[in-house]
Structure 1
Amino acid sequence: MSNIVRGTMLLTGASFLSKFLGMIYVIPFNSLVGATGGTLFAYAYTPYNIFISLSTVGVPLAVSKFVAKYNAVGDYETGMRMFRTGMALMIGTGVLAFFAMFFSADWLAAQMITSQDAKSITSADVAFVIKMVSFALILIPAMSIVRGFFQGHHSMGPTAISQIMEQIVRIAFILGGSFVIVSVLNGSVIAAVGFSTFSAFLGAVASCFVLWVYWRKRQPYIQRQLQQQIYTHDLRTRDMLAELFRYAGPFILVGLATPVYQLIDQFTFERAMVASNQEDIWAFAYSAMNFYGHKLVIIPVTLATGLSLAILPEMTKSFTQKNSVFLEKQINQALQIIMFLILPAAVGLSILSKEAYGTLFGIDNIQISGQLLAWYAPVALVFGLFTVSSSILQSINQQRFAVISLSAGVLVKLLFNIQLIYVFGAKGAIFGTALAAGIAVILNLWRISTAIQFSYKQLMKRTILIGIFIAIMCLIIILLRFLLYLVVPEGRFGMSIVLTVCVVAGGMVYLGLAYYSTLMERVLGRRIGFLDKLFRR
């Protein structure tokens, strides 16, 4: 438990950097393609993410677990056989997923977009960008298997470096290509977004090259392991695959939740907005909510869930050894980290929603985008809680229940999304996601409590203390914002000044209160060395 921060950096550093880059690049991307481009981009990537999950079905992480298991007993040949089998399987599913997505693009687009107004986004535009992004499916599943194999050998470098390189190359082609098409060639936004989605394939090529370099470098070491091996389990291919899919099942669930909710929005949002006579703003509202706004909301979720998930291996060990005292402590810590980090970030982003959106993406229609971000920011908490609670269920051997909770959430989103959008406008989609994910979280937490008789008393007590600190932080932010607007200039530059000052001041107040009250070290499980030196404690 004392090495939690170090473990977090190893397990989530590359993922967080990748997500951060994914948030930063949309600022110039927004300047090039605007709200229409953002909506088109989101319409391509949501089904793409689902096809990725379905084509890999959790196999890469399962291969990692499988290889690590047999390597631990010196059976390297079985791990290598699994790698070859998994590679063949992923090449096949990747190609099938590509054909399925490419040739279903027209049908999917026709179901998502009902209006054919040439001034707005048409189904032909959506079909085009879906087809362009589908090419990445040819490479991604097989590439993920290689990453899983390296992780099974406790080598995180290839995954981390290839992941970052993939993102850098993808972003470079997105921004470079969009700039050339829009600003140099005076091309259409549709063409720019189409090339931008195709950049997923180019990023995958770069990632494959990095992994090939690592493979060439590590191959002599792998060969020595195989030559020194004495015993092999000699499993049949059928038995290997059966064991692999037992591991793979739970891994697919957590990653599917958010894309599925967004996919439901894609099938319902435009038609509900048109039906409620809001067709003029639907494209802008969708991009502000599910593309640009989502990029901001997901950053604290990534960091907080990374910290929490770093505890899970020890949690699984405690459950296996029937050490209920340590297990309860670890579950408490995982959930408290979510509350400690995401709750203040979500509340702060909600209060400063206009400033955050205006600073990063411009002040056009800021009343609409700011309001949507203000409502969407708190949903970060349920996203984080769902991810961690589903993983806790996996660690206590209750992973099947995660299927039930996710299905319940999806059913609620399906049943109520159109009605909520019709009644509340664009923010109705946010209410639908919050309701669906919230129900899934409640079910997960209930199952954890009943399965191992877990008590939430400590979590509730510390959440109340966190709430008090957040209230003080909010008062400081609101007061500062009021005073700053008396002197700063209007517009985007003024908003950036207000955002910077309020974020720094609010963050220092909250972290200072958490530090001096010892809440921080109790939640994270250790003292924070650089803060001790800074405050001479």
Structure 2
Amino acid sequence: MTKETKDSLVKGTLILTVAALVARFLGVFQRIPLVHLLHEEGMGSYSIAFNLYSILLVVATAGIPSALSKMVSEKYAIGRPAEAKRIYRAAIWFAIVAGVIMTALLYVFAPIYAEQISHGGPDATLATRAIAPAMLFFPLIAIMRGYFQGRQNMMPNGISQVVEQIFRLVTSIGLAFILLNISLGWGVAGASFGGVIGGVAALAVMLYYAMKLKRRDALSLKRNVSQAAAEETAAGSAQSTQFQKQISYSEIYRSLLKLSIPIVIFSVTVTLVYAIDTSIIIPLLEGTIGRSEALGLVGIIGGRAQSLAGIPIILAIALSQSVVPIISSAYSRKDMKQVSHQTTRVLQLSILSGLPAVLVIAIAARPLDFFMFGHEDTAFGMSHGPHMISLLTLGAMFQIVMQTSGAVLMGMGRMKPLMIHVAVGIAVKLAGSFLLAKWFGIYGIIGSTGLCFIAMSWLNLRSLRKEVDFTILGRRFIGLLLSIVVIVILGLGGEWLTHTYVQPTSFYRLNEGINAVLVCGFTAALYPLLLMVTRVVTKDDVKSFPAPLQKLLTKASRILKRS
């Protein structure tokens, strides 16, 4: 790998990482006023609509952007830009047709899913139909992002994500506020329609960059016109032959789908699991706690828990993304020593970087929940909401391992076992939910989500061990477990103390904000200190970490030596 390639990879990863983090935090921030405006019942309807939309969005794009990126980059690498552009045009037509079909399906079948399957009622149907037009835009946006990625230009993708979230945030909140004057259902629909406006804004950004790239390509072609003219006679016959043998759209679609179907099956896993949660809570629990309370739990899990539990995933996977292409390259060269080294490295990075965020959110769930979203609407929701956030976030740790190990398997081209693991995980999720909900209610449903990710993680790691030798932490795993136990005990003790005694103002939200800062800061500070005390992290490990993390650990080490 050349220095230029490494720089491009690091730059692209950095752009997408920052954009993903900004978009995630904007998405979480959007939920704060929506929870205040729509309350748990309205957020339940909103979550039912949004999760179904998310699944169909992944299916509509069918992993085509990733496959398109690979094919486009390969064509440009061997000097065939015309073929790359033909593949791009074919993918654009696929996106347009898929968008129209999925929009129609989402609109027509909204009542069946929202009312008969999820028991969300007419408000959920209205919210689902309000977000349906977004399907017209996002398949096209996804294809354009894949093309730009293939051209090694990540800036349009990053900026479009951020712009999309800004417009979604502003319009969702604004429309929900205005339309609540009509009814709660219209308010929820207004919040959902913000996704449509976000899609229009993102498409506008992508079209701007597409025109800019087209002008740059035209200018590049103009600069080479003299050379092309000199070679025109000699190349004319070959060009004619190439034109006659140009790849057909059917061949393009066959190649794209062959590459993309395994990707979509793996990519849709988390979205599908979260959609299962919002779909089965009411049918499974309304008989014991009532429909209103069950819909409120859907609002808590979709509007609060899933938002916060999604943060550690981005932080961990973003750190490991830059290593996965290296694994793919080494595996294709049969350099198993390098594959082993990089597999160990990527798994260590994902676990050690994702774990602190998981611990911080899980321990500080109560002050974070009450500060960001306010108290739940009912005593039942208020007593269970923070615990739901904690449990779902703890399960996210295994989601990190599942996604990272799955990405390594993808880099090795081991797609068949990966798809089998997804099927097993979903089966565990469904069976666990129906069995455990009888005894543990909502916690049984959330716990089965964790079991799903645990099963997939174990299967992924087992398949990896058949391919390559690697060690995640080895004997240091005992030190990590000891560190976790100490952090949990001290962190929960600190959370109880702040919740009980730290009430400096008369505003409960401000008090919870202060408590959240104290608990999060205390827990986050304990993590690097204990990892070094228990020798889980060594000097060699630190050298492989990102520069900001290296500086933080170096400072912590100096403090320990002085003490």
TM-score (structure 1 length as normaliser): 0.91
1:68-107 alignment, distance < 5 Å: 68-107=73-112
Aligned CA distance change for structure 1 residues 485 and 260 (closer, same or farther; 3 Å): closer
Indicate conservation of the 8 Å contact 1:169/1:203, yes or no: yes
Q: Identify which of 513, 520, 531 aligns with 1:496.
A: 513
Deviates more, 1:410-419 or 1:520-529: 520-529
Indicate conservation of the 8 Å contact 1:76/1:225, yes or no: no
Deviates more, 1:400-409 or 1:271-280: 271-280
- Once residues 489 and 545 of structure 2 are traced to their aligned partners in structure 1, the CA distance between those partners, rounded to angstroms, is 29
> What do you get for the CA RMSD once the two structures are aligned?
2.5
Q: Identify which of 66, 78, 88 aligns with 2:71.
A: 66
Aligned CA distance change for structure 1 residues 521 and 41 (closer, same or farther; 3 Å): farther
1:269-308 alignment, distance < 5 Å: 269-308=281-320
Tell me if 1:378 matches 2:397.
Answer: no
Indicate conservation of the 8 Å contact 1:308/1:337, yes or no: yes
Letter in 2 for 1:217: K
- Once residues 462 and 475 of structure 1 are traced to their aligned partners in structure 2, the CA distance between those partners, rounded to angstroms, is 20
Letter in 1 for 2:447: F
Structure 1 equivalent of residue 460 of structure 2 = 444
Indicate conservation of the 8 Å contact 1:8/1:310, yes or no: yes
- Once residues 44 and 313 of structure 2 are traced to their aligned partners in structure 1, the CA distance between those partners, rounded to angstroms, is 22
Structure 1 equivalent of residue 338 of structure 2 = 326
Indicate conservation of the 8 Å contact 2:72/2:87, yes or no: yes
Aligned residues: 525
Structure 2 equivalent of residue 194 of structure 1 = 189
Indicate conservation of the 8 Å contact 2:145/2:157, yes or no: yes
Structure 1 equivalent of residue 356 of structure 2 = 344
- Once residues 150 and 41 of structure 1 are traced to their aligned partners in structure 2, the CA distance between those partners, rounded to angstroms, is 32
Deviations along 1:242-288, one digit per CA (max 9) or x if unpaired, are 22223212321232112211232333211111223443421222222
Letter in 1 for 2:110: A
- Once residues 9 and 192 of structure 1 are traced to their aligned partners in structure 2, the CA distance between those partners, rounded to angstroms, is 37
- Once residues 418 and 317 of structure 1 are traced to their aligned partners in structure 2, the CA distance between those partners, rounded to angstroms, is 43
Tell me if 1:509 matches 2:526.
Answer: yes
Indicate conservation of the 8 Å contact 1:170/1:200, yes or no: yes
Return the index of the structure with the highest Cα Rg.
Answer: 2
Structure 2 equivalent of residue 145 of structure 1 = 143
Tell me if 1:21 matches 2:26.
Answer: yes
Aligned CA distance change for structure 1 residues 237 and 486 (closer, same or farther; 3 Å): closer
Structure 2 equivalent of residue 119 of structure 1 = none
Structure 1 equivalent of residue 165 of structure 2 = 167
Structure 1 equivalent of residue 232 of structure 2 = none
Deviates more, 1:385-394 or 1:219-228: 219-228
- Once residues 515 and 24 of structure 1 are traced to their aligned partners in structure 2, the CA distance between those partners, rounded to angstroms, is 34
Deviates more, 1:227-236 or 1:43-52: 227-236
- Once residues 125 and 30 of structure 2 are traced to their aligned partners in structure 1, the CA distance between those partners, rounded to angstroms, is 24
Per the TM alignment, residue 236 of structure 1 is displaced from its structure 2 partner at its CA by 3.1
Tell me if 1:466 matches 2:471.
Answer: no
Aligned CA distance change for structure 1 residues 246 and 485 (closer, same or farther; 3 Å): closer
Q: Identify which of 208, 211, 216 aligns with 2:211.
A: 216
Indicate conservation of the 8 Å contact 1:350/1:374, yes or no: yes
Structure 1 equivalent of residue 561 of structure 2 = none
Per the TM alignment, residue 509 of structure 1 is displaced from its structure 2 partner at its CA by 2.4
Letter in 2 for 1:14: A
Structure 2 equivalent of residue 531 of structure 1 = 552
- Once residues 105 and 135 of structure 1 are traced to their aligned partners in structure 2, the CA distance between those partners, rounded to angstroms, is 13
- Once residues 167 and 301 of structure 1 are traced to their aligned partners in structure 2, the CA distance between those partners, rounded to angstroms, is 18
- Once residues 520 and 176 of structure 1 are traced to their aligned partners in structure 2, the CA distance between those partners, rounded to angstroms, is 51
Structure 1 equivalent of residue 231 of structure 2 = none
- Once residues 347 and 75 of structure 1 are traced to their aligned partners in structure 2, the CA distance between those partners, rounded to angstroms, is 49
Structure 2 equivalent of residue 117 of structure 1 = none
- Once residues 208 and 101 of structure 2 are traced to their aligned partners in structure 1, the CA distance between those partners, rounded to angstroms, is 27
Structure 1 equivalent of residue 44 of structure 2 = 39
- Once residues 293 and 463 of structure 2 are traced to their aligned partners in structure 1, the CA distance between those partners, rounded to angstroms, is 41
TM-score (structure 2 length as normaliser): 0.87
- SS at structure 2 position matched to 1:154: coil
Aligned CA distance change for structure 1 residues 77 and 515 (closer, same or farther; 3 Å): farther
Deviates more, 1:268-277 or 1:65-74: 268-277
Aligned CA distance change for structure 1 residues 339 and 532 (closer, same or farther; 3 Å): closer
Deviations along 1:334-383, one digit per CA (max 9) or x if unpaired, are 11122212223223322222222112111234211012122212111121
Per the TM alignment, residue 511 of structure 1 is displaced from its structure 2 partner at its CA by 2.5
Indicate conservation of the 8 Å contact 1:333/1:523, yes or no: no
Indicate conservation of the 8 Å contact 1:289/1:373, yes or no: yes
Indicate conservation of the 8 Å contact 1:273/1:425, yes or no: yes
- Once residues 414 and 365 of structure 2 are traced to their aligned partners in structure 1, the CA distance between those partners, rounded to angstroms, is 38
Indicate conservation of the 8 Å contact 1:355/1:496, yes or no: yes
- Once residues 441 and 148 of structure 2 are traced to their aligned partners in structure 1, the CA distance between those partners, rounded to angstroms, is 47
Q: How many percent of aligned residue pairs carry the same amino acid?
A: 22
Aligned CA distance change for structure 1 residues 418 and 276 (closer, same or farther; 3 Å): farther
Letter in 1 for 2:547: I
Structure 2 equivalent of residue 243 of structure 1 = 255
- Once residues 55 and 516 of structure 2 are traced to their aligned partners in structure 1, the CA distance between those partners, rounded to angstroms, is 35
Per the TM alignment, residue 526 of structure 1 is displaced from its structure 2 partner at its CA by 4.1
- SS at structure 1 position matched to 2:109: helix
Indicate conservation of the 8 Å contact 2:317/2:400, yes or no: yes
Aligned CA distance change for structure 1 residues 71 and 471 (closer, same or farther; 3 Å): same
Indicate conservation of the 8 Å contact 1:147/1:159, yes or no: yes
Per the TM alignment, residue 221 of structure 1 is displaced from its structure 2 partner at its CA by 2.1
Letter in 1 for 2:415: Q
Indicate conservation of the 8 Å contact 2:131/2:196, yes or no: yes
- Once residues 508 and 113 of structure 1 are traced to their aligned partners in structure 2, the CA distance between those partners, rounded to angstroms, is 42
Q: Which runs of 5+ in 2 are unaligned?
A: 229-234, 559-563
Per the TM alignment, residue 300 of structure 1 is displaced from its structure 2 partner at its CA by 1.0
Deviations along 1:2-29, one digit per CA (max 9) or x if unpaired, are 9897664233221121111101121122
Tell me if 1:408 matches 2:424.
Answer: yes
- SS at structure 1 position matched to 2:475: helix
Indicate conservation of the 8 Å contact 1:514/1:520, yes or no: no
- Once residues 39 and 194 of structure 1 are traced to their aligned partners in structure 2, the CA distance between those partners, rounded to angstroms, is 12
Tell me if 1:454 matches 2:469.
Answer: yes
Per the TM alignment, residue 475 of structure 1 is displaced from its structure 2 partner at its CA by 4.0
Aligned CA distance change for structure 1 residues 523 and 92 (closer, same or farther; 3 Å): farther
- Once residues 295 and 110 of structure 1 are traced to their aligned partners in structure 2, the CA distance between those partners, rounded to angstroms, is 24
- SS at structure 2 position matched to 1:74: coil
Per the TM alignment, residue 520 of structure 1 is displaced from its structure 2 partner at its CA by 7.7
Q: Identify which of 119, 128, 134 aligns with 1:136.
A: 134
- Once residues 337 and 124 of structure 1 are traced to their aligned partners in structure 2, the CA distance between those partners, rounded to angstroms, is 45
Indicate conservation of the 8 Å contact 2:304/2:389, yes or no: no
Deviations along 1:73-117, one digit per CA (max 9) or x if unpaired, are 111000000011110111001101111111111111232244xxx
Deviations along 1:442-481, one digit per CA (max 9) or x if unpaired, are 111111111x14243x434343333333334334423433
- Once residues 105 and 445 of structure 2 are traced to their aligned partners in structure 1, the CA distance between those partners, rounded to angstroms, is 28
Letter in 1 for 2:329: K
Indicate conservation of the 8 Å contact 2:532/2:557, yes or no: no
Q: Which runs of 5+ in 1 are unaligned?
A: 115-121
